[in-house]
């Protein structure tokens, strides 16, 4: 695995840094990642893999690059104590009725604040846009949100 700094932007006393990460495997497979570190948080901006990664591999990608990326950043952020044993890349979101109800709350709060409600649900759940839209539809079906279109 190799990590190198791509570029850095200084702003308001802080810095946002982009890193190129390459994982090369003995069988010829390769994964190239563009990772961003800002305010102690690491985000993955772009992933290119040959051959394509499975969903399980994609879910643990952050764990694969965490150590070398922290070394390249001069130590990197320390994990939160409650998350030290966790290997989840996204926040824990409850399933079933409770998850639908919480998604509806996020949706309504975003609407009241005048921001994109789907994006708010995406940020809260850690799910993709498609999965968030599915969760919102389930919340509508459960009666937690008004129907999208009036029935005739």
Nearest Cα neighbor of 65 from 82, 92, 90, 89 is: 89
Q: Which residues contact 19 (CB under 8 A, 6 or more apart)?
A: 3, 4, 5, 6, 34, 35, 36, 37, 69, 72, 73
Q: pLDDT digit string (tens) for 90-110?
A: 457 788 888 899 999 999 999
CB of 65 closer than 8 Å to CB of 1: yes
Segment 58-78 mean pLDDT: 69
Q: pLDDT digit string (tens) for 131-145?
A: 889 999 999 999 999
Q: What count of residues does the chain have?
A: 152
Q: Above 80 in pLDDT, residue 68?
A: no
Mean residue pLDDT across the chain: 79
CB of 117 closer than 8 Å to CB of 106: yes
Q: Above 50 in pLDDT, residue 33?
A: yes
Unique residue bearing structure tokens 């399980």 = 56
Cα–Cα distance measured from residue 138 to residue 91, given in angstroms and rounded to the nearest whole number: 20
CA distances for 119 relative to 61, 110, 141, angstroms = 23, 9, 20
């Amino acid at each position: 695995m190799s990590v190198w700094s791509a570029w850095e932007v200084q702003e308001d006393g802080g810095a946002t840094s982009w890193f190129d990460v390459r994982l090369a495997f003995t069988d010829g497979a390769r994964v190239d990642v563009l990772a961003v570190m800002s305010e102690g948080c690491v985000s993955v901006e772009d992933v290119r893999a040959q051959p394509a990664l499975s969903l399980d591999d994609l879910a643990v990608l952050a764990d694969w690059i965490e150590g070398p990326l922290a070394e390249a950043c001069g130590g990197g952020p320390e994990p939160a104590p409650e998350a030290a044993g966790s290997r989840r890349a996204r926040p824990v979101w409850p399933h079933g009725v409770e998850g639908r109800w919480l998604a509806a709350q996020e949706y309504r709060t975003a609407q009241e604040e005048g921001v994109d409600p789907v994006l708010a649900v995406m940020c809260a759940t850690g799910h993709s846009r498609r999965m968030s839209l599915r969760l919102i539809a389930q919340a509508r079906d459960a009666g937690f949100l008004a129907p999208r279109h009036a029935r005739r």
